[in-house]
Amino acid sequence: MDLIDLSRVTDQKATFDGFLHQVRDRFGFDHVAYLGANPVAGIMHGYVTYPEEWKQLYIACDFHLIDPTLTMAQRSIAPVSWERLEHNENFRKVFSKAREYDITSQGMTIPVRGPFGDTGLLSVTLDADATEWRKRISSSIGELQSVAVHMHDAVMNSDALSGILRRTQLSSRETEILQWIAAGKSQQDVADILGISIRTVEVHLRSAREKLYSLTTPQAVARAIALHLIYPL
């Protein structure tokens, strides 16, 4: 099943919600949630698959101000497993209520950073034993990081001004290398195809990651595809 290309839609809220439901069903999670902060437009964006009753209670109780799955992940550059979080008073406040809506405290949050101070957090949950949870995350974490970037960029670009500011210029060589990586080639494969050293490939990939404000090469590929700088194969 192909996921929605969020850069090509106009009915934004319905499509963002639908996209998260697709992600949930594709990877077999209980719930998927996205929270993004756009300082350029001064807007917070939130899309979730949680029950409507829980969404209303969460907002009414200002849980977003104390939810450790958000506060900890906002300070991280790597995915944050909720099992690593301290089970302090704030954790208990949020998840004692969440359990009433069959929402587990077993989850992971993937942070995304943008070029203008914008941040995004994609969270997934699954009520399963520890072995099944780790297996599910291990098999999907790479794709989930790409999904997080895809979702974040689409949400941020939904504001016209932000979309204009976020335009990125890659060199022809950086674009070429990212396109080969998107096609499933290894860095050594790319070096052989282009007749350059693997060190040169690594230098161009590092430059591309920096220009695309990406922590990893898969995130850079996902962002380049979302911006139509390269194309999925």
Residue 227 confidence class, pLDDT cut points 50, 70, 90? confident
CA-based R_g, the chain, Å: 18
Round to whole Å and give the CA distance between 22 and 34: 13
Residue 10 confidence class, pLDDT cut points 50, 70, 90? very low
Query: Of 158, 171, 151, 164, nearest to 211 (Cα)?
Result: 171
Residues 156 and 91 reside in one and the same domain: yes
Residue 159: give the domain boundaries.
6-163
Round to whole Å and give the CA distance between 23 and 45: 18
pLDDT at 115: 74
In a domain, 25, yes or no: yes
The verdict on pTM exceeding 0.85 is no
Domain count, the chain: 2
pLDDT at 3: 53
Once rounded to an integer, what is the mean pLDDT over residues 217-232? Answer: 85
In a domain, 111, yes or no: yes
Residues 124 and 194 reside in one and the same domain: no
What mean pLDDT, rounded, does the chain reach? 88
Domain with residue 175: its CATH number is 1.10.10.10
Q: Which residue has the higher pLDDT, 109 or 15?
A: 109
Residues 204 and 127 reside in one and the same domain: no
Residue 163 confidence class, pLDDT cut points 50, 70, 90? low
In a domain, 139, yes or no: yes
Once rounded to an integer, what is the mean pLDDT over residues 19-32? Answer: 95
Could you read off the pLDDT of 111-160 as tens digits, one per residue?
998 877 889 999 999 999 999 999 999 999 989 998 998 899 888 877 75
Could you read off the pLDDT of 178-219 as tens digits, one per residue?
999 999 999 999 999 999 999 999 999 999 998 888 888 988
* The length of the chain, given as a count of residues: 233
